C-alpha cells in the first residue's frame, strides 16, 4: 500500500493523541493515588490531635495506662471521633464509617520511653509521633504509621472508578483525535494532492496545466509557484517551437535562392557571370551572418562568450564605429544628427563588441526608417552612468510590440517589417552585449515618430 502523505499525517496526529491520553491517564492515576493517600494520612493526623486531650485526661485520672491495656474497647472509644459511647452497653458499639479504611488501627500508644503499649500495626521509622503531656510532663506518645498506597488506605474501589473514568475520557479523546486527523488528512492535504497531480501532468508535457490559488497560506503560495512554473515552461516551450520555426524559415529562404540560382546555372537559363556570382555570394553571406548570430547568442546563453574589458573613451569609440555612416545615411535618404559631448566619457568595455552593437543599431535604423527621415544619436552622462540614445523617425512600432523587440526572431506586423528585413537577431545580440557590460538596452517610442533605443552603461572612473 502506498504510504501517502495523508496516511502519515493521520497516524502522526493519532499517535500523538494516544501518547497524550496514556500520559494523562498515568499522571491522573498517580496524582489521584498520591492525593488520596495524603488525604487519609491528613485525616488521621487531625484525629490524633483531637485524641491527645482525651488521653491526657485519662492518664490524669488513672495515673497509668493499665486500664487501656486490659480494655481495648475503652481505647477505641477514646480514639474514635465521637469519643466514648455514653451507654454502658458497649456490645453494640461499631467503628464509624470514616474508619472503615482502617486508619484507626494505625494509631498506636507508646509509653514515655516510646515503648509500644497498644499497636495493631507496629510504628515504622517514618511514623508520626505526638507527645501526650500531663501537667507539663510527657507520659506517653501517640504514633501513627502513614498509609503508603491506595490499597492500604482501602480506596481500591474509588481508584478503580477513577481509572474507568480516565479510560472513558481517553477513549473519547482518541475518537475525537481520529476524527480530527482524518479531517486534516483529507481537508488540509487536498490542495497538496491537487498540486501533486498537476505536477505529474506537467511532467508529462501538459504545460497548460494550472491549479486553483484559493488559500492565502503556504499551500496557496505553493499553488502560485506551480502556476508560475507552468507558465514559464509553457512560454519556453512556445518560444522553443517559434525559435525552431524561425530558424527553419531563415535558413530556408537563402537556401531556396541558392538552389534556384544553381539549378538555373545548371539548366543554362542563367550564365555564370559576375552578376550570378554576386547573387550567390550575397545569399552565402546572409547564411553565414545568420549562423554567426545564432552561434553568438547560444554562447551568450551559457556564458561562454569572452569579453576583453579595457578602458576606452566612448565618445571616440562611437566616432570610429560611425565612420562612413553619414554617406550610408544619405544613400538611404536619411539625415544623421550626432550629439556628442566635447569631453571624454571613460568606460571599461570590449571595443569590438561595442562596435558590433553600434553597427547592429545602425543597420536596424537604415533597414526600417523611411526615406526622408531622421536618425538622431545622442551620448551623455546621466546620474553617474553613460546613456546612449538612438532615435529614428517613422514608421513607429505598436505599443504592445515594443517590450518584445529585443527577443529573438521577433518581427512586428507594422510597416517597419519589410521584405528586406533581417533575421530578427540584431537587437537580441545588442541586448546580450549590453548586459555583458553591466548595462541595459531598453526600447521606447521615439519622439521622432519611430523607435528609441536607450543604452545604459556604467561609468568608468579613471583615465582611458
Please name the residues in contact with 343: beta carbons below 8 A apart, sequence gap of 6 or more. 315
pLDDT for the residue numbered 152 = 47
Instruction: Decide if 374 contacts 335 (C-beta within 8 A).
Output: yes
Q: What is the rounded distance in angstroms from the CA atom of residue 25 to the CA atom of residue 408?
A: 72
Question: d(Cα 361, Cα 414) in Å, to the nearest integer?
Answer: 19
pLDDT tens readout for residues 204-232: 888 888 887 776 777 778 888 888 888 88
What residues are paired with 452 via a beta bridge? 391, 444
pLDDT of residue 150: 47
- The whole-number pLDDT of residue 28 equals 66
Per-residue model confidence (pLDDT) at position 116: 84
Range 310-458: architecture per CATH? 2-Layer Sandwich (3.30)
Nearest to 143 by CA among 157, 160, 126: 126
Note the pLDDT tens digit of each residue in 67-113: 888 877 788 777 776 555 544 454 554 544 445 456 667 788 888 88
- Look up residue 7 and give its three cell numbers: 496516511
Residue 429 three-state SS: helix
Average pLDDT of adjacent 10-residue blocks, the chain of 464 residues: 59 74 70 66 76 85 83 77 52 49 72 83 78 87 72 54 71 76 70 81 84 74 85 81 72 78 81 79 78 70 70 90 86 89 88 87 87 91 88 86 73 47 71 87 90 87 50
Distances (CA, A) of 438 to 264, 303, 380: 50, 14, 17
Cβ burial, residue 425 (10 Å; 0-12/13-18/19+):
buried
Query: Which pLDDT score is estimated for 115?
Result: 86
Q: Is 457 in a helix, a strand, or coil?
A: strand
Res 388: pLDDT? 92
Decide the pairing of beta strands 137-144 and 128-134. antiparallel
Residues of the chain with CATH 3.30.565.10: 310-458
Give me the pLDDT at residue 171, please. Answer: 78
Q: What is the pLDDT of residues 425-447, one digit of tens each?
A: 778 888 888 888 889 999 888 89
Fold category of 209-305 in CATH: Helix Hairpins (1.10.287)
CA distance 74 to 55: 11
pLDDT at 284: 83
**In angstroms, what CA-CA distances link 28 with 36, 157, 387?**
12, 16, 79
Is residue 124 within 8 Å of 130, Cβ to Cβ?
A: no
pLDDT for the residue 415: 41
Predicted pLDDT of residue 302: 56
Give the per-residue pLDDT at 396: 82
The Cα 50–Cα 57 span in angstroms is: 12
Q: Which part of the chain has CATH 1.10.287.130?
A: 209-305
Amino acid at each position: 500500500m502506498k504510504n501517502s502523505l495523508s496516511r502519515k499525517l493521520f497516524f502522526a496526529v493519532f499517535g500523538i493523541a494516544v501518547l497524550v491520553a496514556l500520559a494523562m491517564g498515568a499522571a491522573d492515576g498517580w496524582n489521584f493515588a498520591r492525593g488520596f493517600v495524603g488525604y487519609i494520612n491528613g485525616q488521621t493526623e487531625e484525629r490524633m490531635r483531637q485524641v491527645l486531650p482525651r488521653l491526657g485526661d485519662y492518664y490524669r485520672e488513672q495515673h497509668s495506662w493499665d486500664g487501656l491495656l486490659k480494655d481495648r474497647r475503652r481505647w477505641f472509644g477514646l480514639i474514635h471521633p465521637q469519643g466514648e459511647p455514653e451507654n454502658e452497653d458497649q456490645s453494640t458499639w461499631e467503628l464509624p464509617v470514616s474508619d472503615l479504611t482502617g486508619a484507626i488501627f494505625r494509631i498506636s500508644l507508646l509509653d514515655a520511653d516510646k515503648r509500644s503499649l497498644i499497636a495493631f500495626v507496629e510504628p515504622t521509622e517514618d511514623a508520626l509521633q505526638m507527645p501526650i503531656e500531663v501537667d507539663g510532663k510527657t507520659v506517653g506518645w501517640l504514633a501513627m504509621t502513614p498509609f503508603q498506597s491506595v490499597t492500604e488506605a482501602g480506596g481500591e474501589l474509588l481508584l478503580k472508578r477513577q481509572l474507568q473514568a480516565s479510560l472513558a475520557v481517553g477513549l473519547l479523546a482518541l475518537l475525537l483525535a481520529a476524527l480530527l486527523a482524518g479531517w486534516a488528512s483529507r481537508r488540509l492535504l487536498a490542495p497538496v494532492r491537487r498540486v501533486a497531480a498537476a505536477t505529474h501532468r506537467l511532467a508529462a508535457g501538459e504545460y497548460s496545466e494550472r491549479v486553483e490559488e484559493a488559500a492565502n497560506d503556504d499551500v496557496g503560495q505553493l499553488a502560485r509557484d506551480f502556476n508560475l512554473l507552468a507558465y514559464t515552461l509553457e512560454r519556453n516551450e512556445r518560444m522553443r517551437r517559434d525559435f525552431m520555426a524561425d530558424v527553419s524559415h531563415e535558413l530556408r529562404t537563402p537556401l531556396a535562392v541558392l538552389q534556384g540560382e544553381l539549378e538555373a546555372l545548371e539548366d543554362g537559363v542563367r550564365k555564370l557571370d559576375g552578376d550570378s556570382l554576386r547573387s550567390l555570394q550575397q545569399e552565402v553571406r546572409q547564411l553565414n551572418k545568420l549562423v554567426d548570430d545564432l552561434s553568438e547568442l547560444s554562447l551568450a546563453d551559457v556564458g561562454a562568450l569572452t569579453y576583453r574589458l579595457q578602458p576606452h573613451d566612448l565618445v571616440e569609440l562611437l566616432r570610429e564605429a560611425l565612420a562612413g555612416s553619414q554617406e550610408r545615411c544619405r544613400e538611404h535618404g536619411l539625415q544623421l544628427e550626432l550629439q556628442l559631448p566635447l569631453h571624454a566619457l571613460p568606460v571599461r568595455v570590449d571595443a569590438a563588441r561595442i562596435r558590433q552593437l553600434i553597427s547592429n543599431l545602425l543597420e536596424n535604423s537604415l533597414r526600417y526608417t523611411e526615406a526622408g527621415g531622421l536618425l538622431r544619436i545622442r551620448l551623455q552622462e546621466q546620474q553617474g552612468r553613460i546613456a546612449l540614445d538612438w532615435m529614428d523617425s517613422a514608421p513607429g512600432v505598436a505599443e504592445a510590440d515594443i517590450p518584445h523587440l529585443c527577443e529573438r526572431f521577433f518581427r512586428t506586423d507594422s510597416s517597419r517589417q519589410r521584405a528586406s528585413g533581417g533575421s530578427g537577431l540584431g537587437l537580441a545580440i545588442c541586448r546580450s552585449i549590453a548586459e555583458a557590460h553591466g548595462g541595459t538596452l531598453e526600447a521606447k517610442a521615439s519622439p521622432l515618430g519611430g523607435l528609441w533605443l536607450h543604452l545604459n552603461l556604467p561609468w568608468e572612473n579613471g583615465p582611458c
